[in-house]
Amino acid sequence: MIRQFLGIMILLTLIPCQPARSEGSSSVFESRHNLSASGPGEIKSPSETRVCIFCHSTHNTSKEGPLWNHQTTAQKSFTTYKRATMSGQPEQPNGATKLCLSCHDGTIAVGAVRGLSRPIPMQNVGSGGEIPATRKGNFSLDLSGTHPVSVKYKQSTALAVKHLRWPPLDPEKSVGPDADGYVQCTSCHDPHDNSKSDRYPFWKKATFDEVCLTCHTF
């Protein structure tokens, strides 16, 4: 009896995840990740009307991400975050981080989608079609000043450093490691939704602390 009750309680806490996800996808339209002509940002196409096409398509996509349509970065020697205090060792960008860096490393055209011989023309980009080096969204190949990414967050790492908790705290499982156990750009950011926080771009929760304290105890 008590077991059944607990089962239902657990189900109820899981249900709210569903609407949050679909909301996320729809608001890409109002965000700077709408790179089509209807987008609100400065970097956008003068004529392309499709919104998802810059990142996803339905055919001939890459296995590197879900129906991934952007050319992924060819760079293999990013400077990763390193400090003696760390228990883990960031790897070269993998998983969703590699997808983000397909535009945000500034080496590849924003309109460089698969299957086109020339990138989709874009406004306010650099000479190679990339996010200009003058903008904050161009990270270059130096990730040493960015929170460690493509680093494992597992029980042994968490137990080895005081400031990490285990298991991660978010009951919605929105913030946290990816399915392979890595911290990625998507541990903090949701590329489809810029509506959760007024302060932090494409943030997964309303506040800074709600994101950080999923994994950390400060």
Which residues lie near ligand HEC (CB under 6 A)? 25, 28, 32-33, 35, 41-43, 51-52, 54-56, 65-66, 70, 83, 85-88, 96-97, 99-100, 102-104, 110, 131, 135-137, 146-149, 151, 153, 157, 161, 164, 175-177, 183, 185-189, 191-192, 200-202, 208, 211-212, 214-216
User: Are the CB atoms for 79 and 143 separated by under 8 Å?
Assistant: yes
| Residue 16 C-beta: closest distance to ligand HEC, Å | 16
| Residue 176 C-beta: closest distance to ligand HEC, Å | 5
**Residue 6 corresponds to which amino acid?**
L
Task: Pick the closer one to ligand HEC by CB: 3 or 83.
Answer: 83
Task: Pick the closer one to ligand HEC by CB: 9 or 142.
Answer: 142
| Residue 13 C-beta: closest distance to ligand HEC, Å | 20
State the Cα–Cα distance between residues 185 and 176, nearest whole angstrom. Answer: 11
State the Cα–Cα distance between residues 100 and 104, nearest whole angstrom. Answer: 6
User: Are the CB atoms for 39 and 54 separated by under 8 Å?
Assistant: no
| Residue 12 C-beta: closest distance to ligand HEC, Å | 23
- Residue positions counted in the chain: 218
Using alpha carbons only, what angle is made at residue 57 by residues 75 and 47, rounded to the nearest 5 degrees? 90
Task: Pick the closer one to ligand HEC by CB: 2 or 179.
Answer: 179
State the Cα–Cα distance between residues 36 and 40, nearest whole angstrom. Answer: 9
Q: How many CB atoms lie within 10 A of CB 124?
A: 12
Task: Pick the closer one to ligand HEC by CB: 13 or 92.
Answer: 92
Task: Pick the closer one to ligand HEC by CB: 6 or 160.
Answer: 160
Four-point Cα dihedral 195, 198, 199, 203, nearest 10: -20
| Residue 9 C-beta: closest distance to ligand HEC, Å | 26
